[in-house]
Structure 1
Amino acid sequence: MEDLDAIYDVLRLFDHRWTLEILASLLDGPKRFNAIQRDVGNINSKTHRDALQRLVDRGLVRHPTDGDGVHYMLTPLGERALPALRAFVNELSQWDVARDGGDRSSRT
């Protein structure tokens, strides 16, 4: 059951609004808070700050401070997160196609 709990924890993290958008923004490299917010789009500052903090707390993003201010960047785990999620989604879609017998026209 511990394995299932870990899977559910990861799925809940990626289910949060803005998680994928923030990770995708940071794939280009370190960015400041406002640059990420511009990339992500229609997100208010509090929600954006909370989403970034959640990703920092989970070890996907870090925000070291240097003489140039605070930049957020992906950790090695964060860099692996989107490709792993893409592989997971691709695998699920293959299962879905196989279950439907390859006929996606019956889906709405």
Structure 2
Amino acid sequence: ILPPDQRPSPEDLANFRYRPDGGLFDRFRVSEHTRADGSRFWNQQSHALITLDDCDGSDGERQLVIIGCRDITDQVDTESALHRAKDELEHAAFHDDLTGLANRKRLTAY
């Protein structure tokens, strides 16, 4: 279930079509979703377009979309923690602990 602020409108849903050249099949899509209990989680989706010969004896083909989903909440949380740690280390390397002002390393970089 998508959070209310990310849900497509009924008109968007009615007009939706998978476009083979639209880029959806070339990359993963990551979005935040809501569980039935209200908790949020990060979901990674991959899409594949397959073409099947019709089995009803006609000469036509039909295209199907296969969507694979994976909960990547732990991965997103870990990446966020790593970014915060990097920012904290960078700040500590270039600022004085007592005053919070730029230290010599930071000043000589200019």
TM-score range, shorter chain: 0.3 to 0.5
Q: Which has the higher contact order (CA 8 A, sep 6+)?
A: 1
Q: Name the structure where strand makes up a greater proportion of residues.
A: 2
Q: Please tell me whether Structure 1 or Structure 2 has the larger radius of gyration of its CA atoms.
A: 2
Q: Whose helix proportion is higher, 1 or 2?
A: 1
TM-score (norm 1): 0.32
